Structure 1
Amino acid sequence: MPMTPHDIEKMIKDGIPDAVVTIRDLAGDGDHYAAEIVSESFRGKTRVQQHQMVYKALQGNMGGELHALALQTSAPA
């Protein structure tokens, strides 16, 4: 069963509590999403490290229940 945008946002916020998360359904099929995540905890980390933090927060659901997620991560301006 595909994950809902709410489920994705909740998992990310549970794993990265200060995150501001915006989820968009890219294809309208409930399977392809884009997430913009802004968190102070990303400051000083590489893009790869930031994405690894998001994948960890998703608790192994990437590639399973969550088929595709385009990530855009950053620290607050």
Structure 2
Amino acid sequence: MQRLKKLQEEFKRLSTEISQLKSGIDELQASIPGVQKFVNDVERDIKKWKFKTEPRLNRIQIILDVLKIDQKEQHK
């Protein structure tokens, strides 16, 4: 009889933990759209940043190349 009672208690505990797990999963699933929106916003911001900085980086690279050429000519 004692063993049966212990099994019932374990079953109740397991049932409670399963309910909590289901609740946690439901919360996670409910937060997915918000997380996805955040990810999309970050990706959009990264693309904008790359778009805005690329022309500048190209100009900086050209300036550095010219400076390297000038430096080589000065050493001759």
With normalisation by structure 1, the TM-score equals 0.19
Normalized per residue, the structure richer in strand is: 1
**Does 1 or 2 have the higher relative contact order (CA < 8 Å, sep 6+)?**
1
Higher normalized helix content (fraction of residues):
2
TM-score, normalised relative to structure 2: 0.19
